[in-house]
């Protein structure tokens, strides 16, 4: 049996230009001409030789401190950018729910944003149109579907994003720290949807800072530390080690 996700020896390096953000044309030209190339560009290794796999129907929780590479890993899995080394194999359709509202255009309405997102995910206009009613119903934001997203509250953005992800009904769902906002009722609705998702044998990868949440829902856990896999395996043991490490860092 193949795995839903196979990640082997993946590394990701970001290059960034070490210039001031607001540059004048003169400055920019001077630096471009006289500062040697390797001094202008710096690199950050966000992920280093990361390998793990997730079986079909499993739910993986990714934990780690800020800047440990969790979001980079999620974006690699989503295919936003390719890794510098290593391979990622995905078996099935995948829908990412990355940083909240990142893919929403503030001037477009809820409907228009949902439509764009569906088209980005590869649906035809007809298929996208057919899903819009279900998205409106799931999100429960009613009339706001016709209003520009800039008028939405954070909770409404979350509702819309979740509604799109669930109505697409992918084989694999990526959730990057998106359950933090939203009211109790809608959170409950999302959890019910996630449960249904799991029951139908679908795969979920989620990033969360809430250890309790990961413990309750996930089967396997991945602990990232400075871009490397510190521990990967059954959820209880990984979380226990992670919690101990945390306690030591705080009190030791």
Q: What are phi and psi of 35, to 5 degrees?
A: -85, 125
**Binding other proteins by CB under 8 A: which of 30, 44, 119, 247?**
119
Do residues 203 and 4 lie in contact, with contact meaning Cβ atoms separated by under 8 Å? yes
Q: Give the C-alpha separation, 160 to 97, whole Å.
A: 11
Using CB under 8 A, pick the residue from 57, 103, 148, 155 that binds other proteins: 103
User: Are 89 and 250 spatial neighbours (Cβ–Cβ below 8 Å)?
Assistant: no
CA-CA distance, 138 to 159, in Å (whole number)? 8
Q: Please report how close the Cβ of residue 49 comes to other proteins at its closest, in angstroms.
A: 14
Nearer to other proteins (CB atom), residue 66 or residue 248: 66
**Contact call for residue 21 and other proteins (CB under 8 A):** yes
Of the listed pieces 62-70, 111-119, 223-231, 237-245, which binds other proteins according to CB under 8 A?
Answer: 111-119
Site for other proteins contains 154 (CB under 8 A):
no
According to the binding rule CB under 8 A, does residue 237 interact with other proteins? Answer: no
Task: Give which of 152, 42, 39 is closest to 104, Cα–Cα.
Answer: 152
Nearer to other proteins, 117 or 166 (CB): 117
Q: CA 170, CA 93: separation in Å to the nearest integer? A: 5
Applying CB under 8 A, the span of 104-112, 187-195, 209-217, 221-229 interacting with other proteins comes to: 104-112
* One residue of 115, 136, 159, 202 binding other proteins per CB under 8 A: 115
Q: Looking at 76, 167, 178, 206, which residue binds other proteins (CB under 8 A)?
A: 76
Residue 65, SS3 per DSSP: coil
Q: Would you count residue 28 as binding other proteins (CB under 8 A)?
A: yes
Residue 35 CB neighbours (<10 A): 12
Measured from the CB atom, is 2 or 237 closer to other proteins? 2
Residue 98 binds to other proteins (criterion: CB under 8 A): yes
CB closer to other proteins out of 105 and 246:
105
Closest CA to 186 of 164, 215, 158: 158
Nearer to other proteins, 68 or 117 (CB): 117
Give the long-range contacts of residues 70-74, CB within 8 A, separation 24 or more: 70/176, 70/177, 70/207, 70/224, 71/98, 71/99, 71/176, 71/177, 71/207, 72/12, 72/46, 72/47, 72/227, 73/47, 73/224, 74/98, 74/174, 74/176, 74/205, 74/207
Q: How is residue 33 written in tokens? A: 């001409």
Does 222 interact with other proteins (rule: CB under 8 A)?
Answer: no
> Does 131 interact with other proteins (rule: CB under 8 A)?
no
Can residue 112 be called a binding residue for other proteins (CB under 8 A)? yes
Which residues contact other proteins by CB under 8 A? 2, 14-17, 21, 23, 25, 28, 75-76, 78-91, 94, 96, 98-99, 102-106, 112, 115-116, 119-125
């Amino acid at each position: 049996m193949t795995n839903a996700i196979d990640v082997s020896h993946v590394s990701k390096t970001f290059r960034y230009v070490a210039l001031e953000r607001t540059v004048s044309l003169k400055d920019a030209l001077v630096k471009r001409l006289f500062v040697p190339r390797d001094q202008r560009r710096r690199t950050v290794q966000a992920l280093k030789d990361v390998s793990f796999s997730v079986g079909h129907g499993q739910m993986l929780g990714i934990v780690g401190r800020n800047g440990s590479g969790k979001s980079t890993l999620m974006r690699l899995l989503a295919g936003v950018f390719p890794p510098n080394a290593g391979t990622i194999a995905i078996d099935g359709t995948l829908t990412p729910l990355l940083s909240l509202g990142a893919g929403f255009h503030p001037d477009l309405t809820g409907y228009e944003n949902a439509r764009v997102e569906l088209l980005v995910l590869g649906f035809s206009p007809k298929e996208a149109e057919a899903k819009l009613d279900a998205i409106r119903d799931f999100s429960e934001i009613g009339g706001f579907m016709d209003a520009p997203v800039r008028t939405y509250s954070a909770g409404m953005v979350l509702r819309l994003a979740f509604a799109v992800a669930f109505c697409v009904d992918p084989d694999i769902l990526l959730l990057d720290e998106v359950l933090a906002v939203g009211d109790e009722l809608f959170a409950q609705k999302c959890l019910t949807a996630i449960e249904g998702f799991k029951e139908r044998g679908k795969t979920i990868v989620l990033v969360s800072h809430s250890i309790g949440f990961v413990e309750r829902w996930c089967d396997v856990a991945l602990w990232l530390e400075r871009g490397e896999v510190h521990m990967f395996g059954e959820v209880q043991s990984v979380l226990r080690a992670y919690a101990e490490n945390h306690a030591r860092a705080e009190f030791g």
